[in-house]
Amino acid sequence: MHATPFAERIASLPKAELHLHLEGSIRPAVASALAARHGMKLPEEEVRRRYAYTNFAGFLDAFKWVTSFVREPGDFALIAADLAEQLLAQKVVYAEVTLSVGIMFLRQQQPEANFAAIVRATEPFEKRGLRLNWIFDAVRQFGSEAAMRVVQSARRCGSRRIVAFGIGGDELSLATKEFRGVYERAEEYGFHRLIHAGEIGGPEKIREAIEILGVERIGHGIAAIHDVGLMETLAERKIPLEICPASNLRTGALDVQLGKSAATIEEHPLAEILRHGVAVTIATDDPAMFHTSLEEEYRNAWRIGLTEEEMAGVVENGFRFAFGKVS
């Protein structure tokens, strides 16, 4: 299916993005610059080679590798400013960007210092029309104690720019119920709550996140396609799914959910989920690592079969379901 003029006009519309990892936006040239800062030579071609994978485990390995070059507050400032430039170029006026604070702790960094540098680097972009808010993210397989450290770090920062707490990583690693206390604490501190669920896991992971953790948005959530009752619940409670088509294709998540190999973007369940009344937003997840952009994701939505009216509604959802103040 060829893109219509409307699909291309999306590029000129003001947009919001709600599922975007700062560390996943590191372009090959920026990765090389980071390595050089620390006395290493890293050809851009090596980064491109690493940014090729066929399954979720391969993606996690690449993510771990590239973040090893992000070591100091100044490094975080560099990648944050570069991401802001990328967003402005796509007419993004608002974004909620996820920070892998769990990884910062793993590497014995100071998240508060990193965050301060990020804010200083990105505040000037507000005058250029881009507002950024932030989500502090824990790593599921690191456990509940490590996740609680992330919540406490967000509180210590004391910034209204931190709008939510979330958990990513391997959703199959630990039971959802182990994080109940962490999410209760996040709510107590006034943070919105979200989680990656139903990406490679089944629909039960989404239902658990809603019923046990009280999450307000679901990252990915494409496994909902297997459970009509769950889709009805998501629609009734107005809990949106943050869907990232290129990510689902390149991590193999789409293959997992469809029970096949070499699935195509046209087979993505986005349109069917949307037509069950579930609110959906479109996002890039890790744009550099998945060789995509927000504009490309909207072209993907057209290839998947969304109508012009549906695409316009999805653009609006980016603002409607934002946790922070958009303007």
Burial of residue 85, with CB atoms counted within 10 A of its CB: 0-12 exposed, 13-18 middle, 19 or more buried: exposed
How far apart CA 239 and CA 301 sit, in angstroms, is 20
Contacts of 271 (CB under 8 A, 6+ apart): 304, 305, 306, 310
Specify the residue for token string 């301060």: 116
The amino acid sitting at 25 is: S
How far apart CA 120 and CA 51 sit, in angstroms, is 29
How far apart CA 135 and CA 164 sit, in angstroms, is 5
How far apart CA 301 and CA 270 sit, in angstroms, is 8
How far apart CA 47 and CA 31 sit, in angstroms, is 7
Contact between 279 and 285 (Cβ < 8 Å):
no
How far apart CA 57 and CA 147 sit, in angstroms, is 21
Q: Which of 23, 96, 199, 216 is catalytic?
A: 199
> Is 188 one of the catalytic residues?
no
Specify the residue for token string 């944050």: 80
DSSP 90: T
Contact between 217 and 243 (Cβ < 8 Å):
no
Q: What is the DSSP string of 120-136?
A: HHHGGGGGGT-EEEEEE
> In 48-66, which positions are buried (b, 16+ CB within 10 angstroms) versus exposed (e)?
eebbebeebeebbebbeeb
Angle, CA 205 vertex, CA 200 and CA 209 arms, to 5°? 130
List the catalytic residues: 199
